[in-house]
């Protein structure tokens, strides 16, 4: 929760986080010794996987950890023979969008006013990656 709270203006609640650690959800964390540097949470829905959350502690951002976590998410999808990978990202999060584009994700659509902000709402960019075997 410490990383979640540090990374998001409107973080998940602890209840939501705990519910995403079971069932059709899967996750991976990056550690240095005993210190968690970042994590992702994914969800399986039929043959498709969605990246629900990905966070890297602010003190460790810019070191390639998010790329490693995203690569692991993609690799997991490939290993499980997922057909498509999806994610949503705030339109203002240009660093994340660039990371996703470099990994092969493309823009699919926009969800208007999807994310809350301090002054209203912000659009979400829906991105996808079709896996080929």
Binding residues for acetyl-CoA: 93
100 included as an active-site residue? yes
88 included as an active-site residue? yes
Q: Which of 49, 54, 72 is nearest to 7 (CA)?
A: 54
Residue 29: CATH number of its domain: 3.40.630.30
Report pLDDT digits (tens) over 3-35.
988 888 888 888 888 888 877 799 999 999 999
pLDDT given at position 111: 95
Select which of 4, 100, 101, 115 is catalytic.
100
Kindly give the parts of the chain with pLDDT less than 50. Answer: none
pLDDT given at position 133: 63
Considering all CA atoms of the chain, what is the largest pairwise distance in Å, rounded to the nearest integer? 44
Provide the residue range defining the domain that includes 25.
2-130
Give CA torsion, residues 81, 82, 84, 90, to 10 deg: -130
Select which of 40, 49, 88, 115 is catalytic.
88
Helix axes 65-79, 94-102, angle to 10 degrees: 40
- Judged by DSSP in three states, 53 sits in strand
Q: How many domains, in total, are found in the chain? A: 1
Report how far residue 27's alpha carbon sits from residue 102's, in angstroms, rounded to the nearest whole number.
22
Nearest-5° Cα angle at 31, 28 to 34: 125
């Amino acid at each position: 929760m410490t990383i979640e709270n540090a990374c998001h203006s409107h973080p998940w609640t602890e209840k939501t986080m705990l519910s995403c650690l079971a069932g059709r959800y899967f996750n991976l964390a990056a550690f240095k010794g005993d210190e968690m540097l970042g994590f992702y949470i994914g969800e399986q829905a039929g043959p498709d996987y969605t990246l629900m959350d990905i966070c890297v502690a602010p003190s460790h951002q810019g070191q390639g950890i998010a790329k490693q976590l995203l690569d692991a998410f993609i690799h997991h999808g490939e290993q499980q023979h997922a057909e498509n990978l999806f994610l949503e990202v705030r339109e203002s999060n240009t660093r994340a969008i660039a990371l996703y584009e470099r990994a092969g994700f493309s823009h699919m659509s926009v969800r208007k006013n999807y994310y809350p902000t301090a002054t209203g709402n912000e659009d979400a960019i829906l991105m996808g990656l079709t896996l080929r075997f």
